[in-house]
Structure 1
Amino acid sequence: MPIRATRVLAALLLLCLVAAVRPAWAVQPSIVVHKLIIDMTVRPDGTSTITEYREQSPSSMAAAAQIGQYAIGFNPSLQRLDILEAYTQKRDGTRVPVDLSQVRTQQAPGVPNVPIFRDMQQKIAVFPDLAAGDREVIGYREETDKPLFPGQFFWNINFNRAVAWEEVAITIVAPASYPLQVENFGVDFARTEQDGMVRYAWRYRATDVVAEDLAVVSAWDRLPRMYVSSFPDYAAMAAAYARLADPKVAVTPRIQARADEITAGIADRRGQARAIYEWVSARIRYVALYLGAGGVEPHEAESVLANGYGDCKDHTVLFEALLKAKGIEARTVLVNLDNAYTLSGPPTMAQLNHAISYLPEFDLFADTTSGVAAFGTLPFQEYGKPAVMVGVDGEAVRRLPVLAPGAATISTRTEAHMQLDGAIMGTTVTEATGPAAIALRLTARWVQTAGHEPAARRQLVALGQQGTGVFVFPPPDSFGQSFFVTGQFKLDPQPEILDGDSFAPPLGLQLLVRPGDYLLGPLNRPTLPETEATPCYSGRQSEDLSLEVPEGRVPQRLPKDRRIETPFFTYTARWTAEGQVVRVRRELVTTIDQPLCTGELRREAAAALADIRRDLRAKVVLAGP
């Protein structure tokens, strides 16, 4: 898969001893928040007034550039936002005001530029002459006139450990007749009641920051954090979502006609559901707007059908309306599409940012937004997650199933031969099934966009090789359980191999990940502590590499075979030499039955990944003629 930078944090410099011994993990903060004061007044109808005052300093010009444009997101269809004050306070105490008349409202980044998605906006205050050590001061008021869910209030915050927090004070005042549930992790909390009003107060301070080495799971799973909600439980939240969404799943004449057209000639009910799923996946463009960011109320199914695009909640509304037209029941499921594996105790939208569907008749979950997933197959990151089921009696929180053994496979085969000048030519076939096939199809789409030959050159460079190549594959925009991509390549001459330099059989145009990576956690993160939980999955990965060397050349010595075996996974590597051909086969088989590797399983996985990294570096040296 093309290498992408995802959620990468800047490395921070270790502090020396200053006046007293500081923790070994303490680092110099890039940002110091001197004050964060948030006061909220919540009314019995769920509307609220929130005022925030913040003073913060950058420790470098790079940090000043990072925070010098302060963006405040809001939804103008639900809220009013006013910046009350904003200025740069220089080290000598001089104030350089922000020209509030120049603050403009604009569409938030990542919000699609299409007519029905204009509700998530932001105001940006640009702080003049902000330098390292100066203070950026801003105060603003947010009036919520229309809660996301009628009559309900919820709020949450987490505290980045790479930031120094000197003083944080958060208060909520609400009527005693409007009780709020709270949950706190690493934050001081106090509750007082007087004259029919309840004051909820939190304080936080953490001046020694921590280098986290790019933790894998969400901030909502691990950082100091707090949650507040007026919902008594997730069943109440699910019912509130149903009240917003159910009217949108209307079977109009146009919806009925489209459902009949899609299923024409298909008598089998599962076949009808599959046909509708594939039609929505292929025909309705997915516009990624996270649930909750721009509201939780979907558009009418007929509107989504007419527009031809929609976000996740719009996808579910149209999919479920078309199913309903054929008498097939479906329920919306709210889940996390990123790397959060918990739900807050008080019901909030902190970890719920995506909507998919559950078809109880077939006991099957379906996500139409990937556009290429086989019916009943989900992307990797949705398996095993806690989710909120809409439209069910009793407990609404359910856990999506983990991947079944053997459901996800990746196999790569590279066969290459070396010419007398050291150039290497060959072919790579990458084949995948289940959720891995989704990733491979999306990669093939990337190749189509980038161009087959330019994409091949970029992938060779990403794999540490120089040369040219081309990808060949069938159309990726289909829904089979498996998919394959062929890559033909020619690497630049490497005569040093013939002169005795060590080498490994080339990866060629291998796609996706190598054995060990992803299923057991990130392979390329050797400093990630074994105490850090990582997502992990059941599946199988195999890699077959072979290189035919010129006549008269033979390997002096093959690397050692390797076998790692635990109750949940087995990794093997086997080297052979037959005539002029050197081969290595690597395979990982996992039967992990939980969504996260934690505790002893994580320790075993971390140790295995260290051994696998060493194995992947194994090389061969040729003997001369």
Structure 2
Amino acid sequence: MPIRSARTLLICLLASGLVGCRLLMSIVMLPVGLVVAVVGGIAGILVSSEHPGADTDLVARGYRIERRALDVTIAEDSTFEGRLVLERTATAPDGIDIVEVASLSFDPSVQELELLDAWVTTPDGEVHRVGQEHVFDRPAASERGAPEFIAGLTRTVLFPRVVVGATTHVEWRFTQTAPSTLGFDYVWKPPFAIDVVESRIAITHHTDVPLRWAADDGFEVAESSDGDLRTITATLTGYERQRAERAMVAARDVVPRFQATTSESWESVGAAFHAAFADRVEVTPEIAAVAEEVVGDARGLEAARLVHEWMCANVHYVVVYLHPMDGWVPHRASEVLENRYGDCKDLVVLFASLLRARGIAVEPVLVNNDRSFVPYELPTPLQFDHCLAYLPDFDTWSNPTDRYLELGELPVHLSDKQVVVAGEAGRLARTPAGRSEENRYTVRQRAELGTDGIFRGTTSMELTGRAAGLFREQLSASPDLEVVADHLLAADPRGGVGELTSTDVADLSRPLVCSGEWRTDVPVLIGTTLHYMVPSGIDFVNAQLVREMLTTRERRYPALVMASHTHWRTEIVLPEGFVHGDVPERVELETAAGRYTSVAEVGPDGVLVIDRELVIASDRFAPGDYAGLRTLLLAVVVDEERILVAERTGSAG
């Protein structure tokens, strides 16, 4: 946890989408409801094998999809039935765990799922069929830790004798017995880092079903008709795995996608969610009493801020792993208040109810809670997996599931992206882009070099905005801040140990302030001349972490970082009898990505003061703009790793 704490703030300021980071994307917050509405249709029943997590999709390896064949027939009432065949080969040891398991989730109240056949072909050509003793049903992941929510099942096949070179084959038959209130929606894309030999999707539907489709380059699509039936066949062949990049956007933005939907418009998707949401907002005597207690005499935006902070401190967010077939109907606000927990839209329902009691309007907002910023070509509820709140009277946004961000603050992956505001009519909107001046990190350090060659220092850090929010979360999860300090100091070539304290991480009304004391482990050699690097001290954005963002490879995908303003001020005190030699020259750089300045001066007291500022202008950079960002980050690293020289004065003997 301490190591992740250090890296997380770098991710906050420089690399929010860094491959392997679990802070933002390991939790997939998808909408769940008390009443099943069968939102995603076939997308729901196929979710377990079709929708890996964003990070998993980027780093998956060790297997190949030989064949994937999906055949679906949609009836006039939008119920459907079909088959899925999937063949995968383990190409390396780390792919065995993936290939030896196949699973699908379904809701037995409205869906039927049958395993038709499954076998393994080993490298020597032997075929081993899977018996019923290797087929298991268990509660879907969404139910674990989410009482009273839904009742889905996951059916899993465990293949025997899987080794490198073995191919597994599974065939499923599924039926949707009740139509979805939102129609039929389906999306498929190849796994980012996995080769796909062939994938074929065939959807047959009655001509009365208003199905539309869209396909990116890479898919070959054919259409045919037979009486009242129309068939769309989309085939992807020879997809080659791609290599992930540091801080890249989500895989679904950069792989070919096929989509089929009966959704009429984005506005209709929002209106459908509004219909499920509206009557759950209520002002009961209990809710009114809580609003009065929390808000007091405050009015307007200040009242909203107090309610937001109360929600963050008192209502627990239940993380739900589930699939899009589940309903969009939240619990009633009175239930959420009584339980003091809920999923994303439950929290928005209670937030809206508390503010309605104070005369403040709140609208729910549908958004995708990942690093994807390219919406699907056609409107679909599958675009969304999270619910925010919008306060139209103040043009302000709230994410009440994030207890470490203040009202109006959204994390990088929820900023500057298309959303649907779920009002009565529904409307498209865009969340605000990040602003560097609203996300500041300031660190002040004083380092004194002793006659024993050891640097001893003090550090003070202040964080505001989104940077503060993400690090609040990490500090709250770190049992020992001394270990955090030691891991940060380990980034310095001389190592070090230290202590770290912070203000109350749960207090959103004030900036996060951390302070610490530290010393290096490896001494500087002291002779008539000193050669040393400025110690990094306890710094959340030190050279080693910044260096991880640098590459000379040509950038292929957009980079997701954070608009931020970082200010370092470091004071260096030498032992008595030593004076600083030539100080580093002034650095002033400005690119389309932002600016970097560095000024070093020796004061009358002989103390070397180095002031550095890094401003990153936006959250997201196209591949062609990465060079400007790299120029700034490289300047930070060069500055921090510069060798400084000091001379012993003659009087020192």
TM-score of the two chains, using structure 1 as the length reference: 0.87
User: In structure 1, what residue type is equivalent to 2:507?
Assistant: S
Q: State the superposition RMSD in angstroms.
A: 3.0
The answer to whether the 8 A contact 1:515-1:586 is kept is no
Q: Secondary structure at the match of 2:420?
A: strand
Identify which range, 248-257 or 405-414, moves more after superposition: 248-257
Indicate whether 1:33 and 2:33 are aligned: no
Indicate whether 1:585 and 2:611 are aligned: yes
1:56 corresponds to:
88
Match of 1:337 among 352, 366, 369: 369
1:277-296 equivalence runs, <5 A: 277-289=308-320, 293=324, 295-296=327-328
Match of 2:183 among 138, 152, 165: 152
d(CA) in 2 for partners of 1:202 and 1:304?
A: 44
How big is the shift at 1:517?
A: 8.5
d(CA) in 1 for partners of 2:597 and 2:169?
A: 58
The answer to whether the 8 A contact 2:7-2:545 is kept is no
> Cα gap change, 1:392/1:561 in structure 2, threshold over 3 Å: closer, same or farther?
farther
Match of 1:168 among 199, 214, 223: 199
User: In structure 2, what residue type is equivalent to 1:177?
Assistant: D
User: In structure 2, what residue type is equivalent to 1:565?
Assistant: E
d(CA) in 1 for partners of 2:265 and 2:80?
A: 21
d(CA) in 2 for partners of 1:465 and 1:302?
A: 57
Match of 1:548 among 558, 573, 585: 573
Match of 1:133 among 165, 169, 190: 165
d(CA) in 2 for partners of 1:138 and 1:497?
A: 70
d(CA) in 2 for partners of 1:361 and 1:98?
A: 60
Identify which range, 595-604 or 422-431, moves more after superposition: 595-604
The answer to whether the 8 A contact 1:218-1:340 is kept is yes
2:47 corresponds to:
none
Relative contact order, CA 8 A, sep 6+: which one is greater?
2
The answer to whether the 8 A contact 1:516-1:541 is kept is no
User: Deviation per CA, 1:514-533, whole angstroms, max 9, x where unpaired?
Assistant: 59989xxx962415533421
Indicate whether 1:561 and 2:591 are aligned: no
Q: Secondary structure at the match of 2:117?
A: strand
1:233-272 equivalence runs, <5 A: 233-263=265-295, 265-272=296-303
1:102-251 equivalence runs, <5 A: 102-108=134-140, 112-117=144-149, 119=151, 121-146=153-178, 150-186=181-217, 187-206=219-238, 208-214=240-246, 216-251=248-283
Match of 1:8 among 20, 37, 43: 20
Indicate whether 1:510 and 2:539 are aligned: yes
d(CA) in 1 for partners of 2:189 and 2:80?
A: 20
2:551 corresponds to:
526
d(CA) in 2 for partners of 1:247 and 1:350?
A: 23
> Cα gap change, 1:485/1:397 in structure 2, threshold over 3 Å: closer, same or farther?
same
d(CA) in 2 for partners of 1:310 and 1:408?
A: 29
1:376 corresponds to:
408
d(CA) in 1 for partners of 2:319 and 2:18?
A: 17
Q: Secondary structure at the match of 1:620?
A: strand
How big is the shift at 1:434?
A: 1.6
User: In structure 1, what residue type is equivalent to 2:464?
Assistant: T
1:13 corresponds to:
none
1:301 corresponds to:
333
1:20 corresponds to:
none
> Cα gap change, 1:556/1:326 in structure 2, threshold over 3 Å: closer, same or farther?
closer
> Cα gap change, 1:78/1:493 in structure 2, threshold over 3 Å: closer, same or farther?
farther
> Cα gap change, 1:347/1:275 in structure 2, threshold over 3 Å: closer, same or farther?
same
d(CA) in 2 for partners of 1:56 and 1:501?
A: 61
User: Deviation per CA, 1:358-413, whole angstroms, max 9, x where unpaired?
Assistant: 1111121111111132222222332211111100546x221112134511111111
The answer to whether the 8 A contact 2:271-2:425 is kept is no
User: Deviation per CA, 1:168-188, whole angstroms, max 9, x where unpaired?
Assistant: 111111111112222211211
How big is the shift at 1:316?
A: 0.7
Q: Secondary structure at the match of 2:612?
A: strand
Q: Secondary structure at the match of 1:3?
A: helix
> Cα gap change, 1:616/1:66 in structure 2, threshold over 3 Å: closer, same or farther?
farther
> Cα gap change, 1:421/1:515 in structure 2, threshold over 3 Å: closer, same or farther?
closer
User: In structure 1, what residue type is equivalent to 2:379?
Assistant: P
> Cα gap change, 1:283/1:73 in structure 2, threshold over 3 Å: closer, same or farther?
same
Q: Secondary structure at the match of 1:81?
A: strand
2:456 corresponds to:
425
d(CA) in 2 for partners of 1:50 and 1:549?
A: 76
Identify which range, 373-382 or 577-586, moves more after superposition: 577-586
Q: Secondary structure at the match of 1:104?
A: strand
User: In structure 2, what residue type is equivalent to 1:492?
Assistant: D
> Cα gap change, 1:137/1:40 in structure 2, threshold over 3 Å: closer, same or farther?
same
Indicate whether 1:413 and 2:444 are aligned: yes
2:126 corresponds to:
94
User: In structure 1, what residue type is equivalent to 2:600?
Assistant: W
Identify which range, 570-579 or 599-608, moves more after superposition: 599-608
Match of 2:466 among 417, 431, 435: 435
Identify which range, 580-589 or 177-186, moves more after superposition: 580-589
How big is the shift at 1:619?
A: 2.7
2:305 corresponds to:
274
Indicate whether 1:482 and 2:506 are aligned: no
d(CA) in 1 for partners of 2:385 and 2:590?
A: 37
d(CA) in 1 for partners of 2:169 and 2:216?
A: 27
How big is the shift at 1:111?
A: 6.1
Q: Percentage identity across aligned positions?
A: 25
Indicate whether 1:605 and 2:629 are aligned: yes
Indicate whether 1:459 and 2:488 are aligned: yes
1:400 corresponds to:
431
How big is the shift at 1:465?
A: 5.8
d(CA) in 2 for partners of 1:338 and 1:275?
A: 28
> Cα gap change, 1:534/1:261 in structure 2, threshold over 3 Å: closer, same or farther?
same
The answer to whether the 8 A contact 1:515-1:587 is kept is no
1:615 corresponds to:
639
Higher helix fraction: Structure 1 or Structure 2? 2
> Cα gap change, 1:327/1:464 in structure 2, threshold over 3 Å: closer, same or farther?
farther
User: In structure 2, what residue type is equivalent to 1:34?
Assistant: E
Q: Which runs of 5+ in 1 are unaligned?
A: 10-27
d(CA) in 2 for partners of 1:236 and 1:606?
A: 43
How big is the shift at 1:315?
A: 0.9
Indicate whether 1:364 and 2:396 are aligned: yes
Question: How many residues are aligned here?
Answer: 596
User: In structure 1, what residue type is equivalent to 2:614?
Assistant: L
Q: Which runs of 5+ in 2 are unaligned?
A: 9-16, 22-59
The answer to whether the 8 A contact 2:18-2:246 is kept is no
Match of 1:385 among 387, 396, 417: 417
d(CA) in 2 for partners of 1:117 and 1:457?
A: 43
d(CA) in 1 for partners of 2:142 and 2:584?
A: 48
The answer to whether the 8 A contact 2:275-2:424 is kept is no
